[in-house]
């Protein structure tokens, strides 16, 4: 049996966070949740997940700041990050890629199954 992959969901919208957690748990992932970038960074560096689903607009510390700080650490450089946000503008996309994001998904354009497929693509290959 393959080892469970760990995913960290950093999302301040509780209903979406819960829905993503339930979906990924049902797909066999070990799931951790953080409600802002500050908590997310702490959890990421302690737990070293295989993947982080990261929102941009959050209180305390936004996703881009968290991404920047994460990728400045040796351990953080190895963690795959998919930005999952409502921002569809190119500036945020380019900045996220420059900071080390592996992918950038606009929430409105992707269903749960699509998000899971995208995560699997990055984790297993």
**Greater pLDDT, 20 or 4:** 20
SS3 26: helix
Residue 106 pLDDT more than 60? Answer: yes
Residue 121 pLDDT more than 70? Answer: yes
Residue 67 pLDDT more than 60? Answer: yes
pLDDT of residue 98: 95
**What fold is seen in the domain 10-124?**
Rossmann fold (3.40.50)
Structure tokens at 99: 């900071």
pLDDT of residue 2: 61
What are the backbone angles phi and psi of residue 9, rounded to the nearest 5°? -105, 120
Domains of the chain, by residue range, sit at: 10-124
pLDDT of residue 125: 60
């Amino acid at each position: 049996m393959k080892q469970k992959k760990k995913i960290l969901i950093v999302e301040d919208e509780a209903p979406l966070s819960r829905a993503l957690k339930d979906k990924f748990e049902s797909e066999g992932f070990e799931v951790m949740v953080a409600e802002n970038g500050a908590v997310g960074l702490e959890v990421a560096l302690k737990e070293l997940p295989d993947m982080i689903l990261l929102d941009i607009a959050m209180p305390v510390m936004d996703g881009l700041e968290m991404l920047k700080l994460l990728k400045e650490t040796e351990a953080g450089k190895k963690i795959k990050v998919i930005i999952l946000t409502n921002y569809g503008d190119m500036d945020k996309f380019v900045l996220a890629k420059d900071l080390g994001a592996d992918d950038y998904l606009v929430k409105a354009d992707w269903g749960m199954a699509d998000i899971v497929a995208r995560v699997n693509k990055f984790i297993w290959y």
